[in-house]
Amino acid sequence: MSVDVAKGKAGSARPRLALLASNEAGLVLITVGFVVLFANLTPGFTSPFNIYALTRVLAIDVVIGFSMMVVLVTGGLNLAVGAIGVCAVMLGGWAMQVAGLPIPVAAALALAFGAGLGALNGILTVVMRVHSFVVTLATMSLFFGAMIVLTQAKAFNALPAEFVSLAKLKTYFFASSMLYLAVGIGVLLWWLFHHTLIGRQILAAGANPSAARLSGVPVERTIIVCHALSGALASVAGLMLTARNGAALPSMAGQLGMDWLLPAFLAPVLGGTLLTGGTISVAGTFLGAAMVTVLTNGLLQLQVGEFWVQAFLGIILLIAVALDRLRAHVMERRRLR
Amino acid sequence: MTTAFKLLRTDWFGLLIAFLVGAAALAATQPSFLSTYNIYVMLTAFSLSVLVALSQMVIVAVGQLNLSVGAIGGLAAITFAGVMEVWGLPIPVAILIGLAVGIACGTLNGVVTHVTGLNAFVVTLATLSIFKGTNIGITEAQPFYNIPEAVKAFGNARLGFIPYLLFISGTIVAMVWIFMRRAVLGRQLLAVGGNRNAAELSGISIGRVIIAAHVISGVLAAVAGMLAVVRLQLGQPTIGDDWLIISFAAPVIGGAVLAGGHVSVAGTLLGVAIVMLINNALVLLNVDPFAVQLLLGALILAAVALSRFRDPA
């Protein structure tokens, strides 16, 4: 194995293949391959409407993926992304429809609320000193339950027309305007994690908490910041979905918001964010979501059986995590050498 | 004095007191609480949920978790109903096929987690979607309605306030109890969950134990799924969708340590019983039934906080 890696530096094909299968370049290749395949198999795939629909779904899934990514980097996870997203948009929907607040104010309110719920997750994780799994499992039930009781499971379906029309904008090449929002958020996250002090501190704390603590990194604060950021991003995804649906629906993320869990984990894990924390790939998460969206959309266009798509995605996640494991293994070998 | 102290230190004693106080308060204020029918309804729900909770508990014992409990239950449920309706297979054969689905799903979970060494969380998230996706793929989200009359009759049968379903799950609970306390494999589950390296050094085959835990979990989930079909009188594809929270809530309330090595069957039973009691209280008091989600979340947090307080690490 180590011999192979050694040869890899000299230009052998085998380890490079492993790299291609896991990093951003590999994702681009696979995605482009699927695009070419689907474009040839079905004319509907490249139709203006489909490109618009696809980019709109992609934009939402990318932000959902980011929302999980920023918590995975701490070595934790956030089962409550869907629940927070729904809670935030129900508040946003209420603010717009019932309280009659202007759209930017309502959106800001939803974002702040989502960030607050996320911060609560972070604080509970830090204070109770348990894994974020059990905390976010509990809060997912708590938040969702409270939301259903308060809203009586009723949708806000008379949102201002300007808000709904935000999701209908088309831009160059028929792409949805929401895609630019997702890209913009990605650039901000990249800048945050690679060019700011808190970003570097988060990465250090995620990679090795005790070492980071000894070097003066406020580990607890980084965990709370990440959870708050995750909550805010979940709210953004929720607002985008609300604009697309034209209504703030309590059921938009399924029972307890669990429908978001699969896209939330698929994108970062495919993109090479390690579940053990300390690494991050913003571009990878974007590309991971792109691959999943293209594949889902293509399978639906081909009408190979819309009911089987979920099973396919599960198999992809399984393969992705196995590759992720292999990559971690190879990286470990390299470090040992 | 010392006996009282010993009792207080167990996982279940405090829960039993809480349950009895809650039940007494309800009985005193709501006369309908002790009606035969109400007890029957509660016991029916209990028969199902207790299996779901035990299915998660055996995985928690080895220090892992299983997000796919509900998806396995759902797949076994629609298979059980489907083979009876579509292929007209006799009931015992359908039961065996349902159990086989549970074993197969559990084996897949166990083998993949062990061989790849991946976090069980992400493996079972993937298999959750594979099992649920297969369920939706087979049923196209439509229930199987034509369940044999004998199955339906069994689902409605009761002895006074005791549903027949409770006899099945009661037997299984007793088996799990004996298994966790007395069987070698049961002790090995806890040993692996408590300290993996020590268990390995004492000659326990880690892979065998982890795969066995997942198979047992799969079988328990499958039985729960089939009981759900019997109770609902139809093969509903959504069976299992709402099992996730209760599956974790009951063992955690019952004093299980999520890091593994410590679970309590009695505690888990009482955890389920307390959740059922809260559920029933909300119905009797005409509170929004969705409030139970809220309370369950709060209960998990409280249980975790309490275990931190009892055993500060």
Q: Do B301 and A139 touch (CB under 8 A)?
A: yes
pLDDT at site A336:
65
Is residue B236 pLDDT above 80, yes or no?
Answer: yes
Q: How far is B235 from chain A (nearest CA, A)?
A: 17
B25-60 confidence digits (pLDDT tens):
989 988 889 899 999 999 999 999 999 999 999 999
Q: Do A149 and B244 touch (CB under 8 A)?
A: no
A229-247 confidence digits (pLDDT tens):
999 999 999 999 999 998 9
Is residue A140 pLDDT above 70, yes or no?
Answer: yes
Q: How far is B22 from chain A (nearest CA, A)?
A: 21
Q: Output A167 or B47, whichever has higher pLDDT.
A: B47
pLDDT at site A11:
39
Q: Output B142 or A21, whichever has higher pLDDT.
A: B142
A62-99 confidence digits (pLDDT tens):
999 999 999 999 999 999 999 999 999 999 999 999 99
Q: How far is CA B38 from CA A304, B143, B168, in A?
A: 48, 28, 20
pLDDT at site A337:
60
Q: Do B248 and A269 touch (CB under 8 A)?
A: no
How would residue B307 be classed by pLDDT, with cut points 50, 70 and 90? confident
Q: Chain B residue closest to A128 (CA)?
A: B305
Q: How far is A177 from chain B (nearest CA, A)?
A: 30
Q: Do A314 and B128 touch (CB under 8 A)?
A: yes
B181-234 confidence digits (pLDDT tens):
999 999 999 999 988 889 999 989 999 999 999 999 999 999 999 999 999 999
Is residue A332 pLDDT above 80, yes or no?
Answer: no
Mutation choice for A interface testing from B258, B301, B307 by most A CBs within 10 A: B301
Q: Do A318 and B127 touch (CB under 8 A)?
A: yes
Mean per-residue pLDDT, B143-167: 92
Show the CA angle centred on residue B137, arms to residues B136 and B141, nearest 5°: 40
B122-135 confidence digits (pLDDT tens):
899 999 999 999 99
Is residue A6 pLDDT above 60, yes or no?
Answer: no
**Which range among A23-32, B12-21, B122-131 shows the weakest confidence by mean pLDDT?**
A23-32
Is residue A320 pLDDT above 80, yes or no?
Answer: no
Q: Do A313 and B242 touch (CB under 8 A)?
A: no
B51-87 confidence digits (pLDDT tens):
999 999 999 999 999 999 999 999 999 999 999 999 9
A168-184 confidence digits (pLDDT tens):
777 776 777 889 999 99
Is residue B165 pLDDT above 90, yes or no?
Answer: yes
Is residue A14 pLDDT above 60, yes or no?
Answer: no
Is residue A7 pLDDT above 50, yes or no?
Answer: no
DSSP string over A296-331: HHHHHHHTS-GGGHHHHHHHHHHHHHHHHHHHHHHH
Closest to A113 (Cα-Cα) out of A101, A103, A105: A105
Partner residue facing B133 (CB), from A77, A131, A308? A308
Please say whether the beta carbons of A106 and A66 come within 8 A: no
How would residue B285 be classed by pLDDT, with cut points 50, 70 and 90? confident
Is residue B95 pLDDT above 70, yes or no?
Answer: yes
**Which range among A18-27, A56-65, B112-121, B237-246 shows the weakest confidence by mean pLDDT?**
A18-27
Percent of chain B with pLDDT over 70: 97
Mean per-residue pLDDT, B145-162: 90
HSE-CB for B211 with a 13 A CA cutoff? 13
Q: Quick check: helix, strand or coil at residue A248? A: strand
Q: Which residues of B touch A134 (CB under 8 A)?
A: 248, 252, 258, 300, 304
Q: Which residues of A touch B137 (CB under 8 A)?
A: 305, 307-308, 310-311
pLDDT at site B232:
93
Q: How far is A157 from chain B (nearest CA, A)?
A: 22
pLDDT at site A22:
52
Helix H, strand E, coil C: the string for B178-197 is HHHHHCHHHHHHHHHHHCHH
Mean per-residue pLDDT, A186-212: 94
Partner residue facing A124 (CB), from B118, B293, B301? B301
Mean per-residue pLDDT, B136-154: 91
pLDDT at site A19:
52
Torsion of CA B160, B162, B167, B168, to 10 degrees: 120
pLDDT at site A26:
76
Provide the mean pLDDT of chain A. 86
Non-local (6+) Cβ contacts of A91 within 8 A are: A109, A110, A113
Is residue B250 pLDDT above 70, yes or no?
Answer: yes
**Which range among A104-118, A217-231, B181-195 shows the weakest confidence by mean pLDDT?**
B181-195
pLDDT at site B255:
85
Closest to A259 (Cα-Cα) out of A250, A272, A269, A246: A250
Partner residue facing B301 (CB), from A138, A149, A314? A138
Partner residue facing A321 (CB), from B118, B244, B245? B118
Residue carrying structure tokens 């709402």: B242
pLDDT at site A13:
43
Is residue A146 pLDDT above 60, yes or no?
Answer: yes
pLDDT at site A1:
31
Q: Per the structure block, which two tokens stand in for A282?
A: 């913003």
Name the burial class of residue A318, with classes exposed (0-12), middle (13-18) and buried (19+) by CB atoms within 10 angstroms of its CB. buried
Name the burial class of residue B63, with classes exposed (0-12), middle (13-18) and buried (19+) by CB atoms within 10 angstroms of its CB. buried
Partner residue facing A145 (CB), from B248, B252, B293? B293
Provide the mean pLDDT of chain B. 91
Q: How far is A79 from chain B (nearest CA, A)?
A: 11
Is residue B289 pLDDT above 90, yes or no?
Answer: no
B228 CA to centre of own chain = 12
pLDDT at site A33:
87
Q: Output B285 or A65, whichever has higher pLDDT.
A: A65
Q: Do B293 and A307 touch (CB under 8 A)?
A: no
Whole-complex ipTM: 0.86
Please say whether the beta carbons of B189 and B58 come within 8 A: yes
pLDDT at site B225:
97
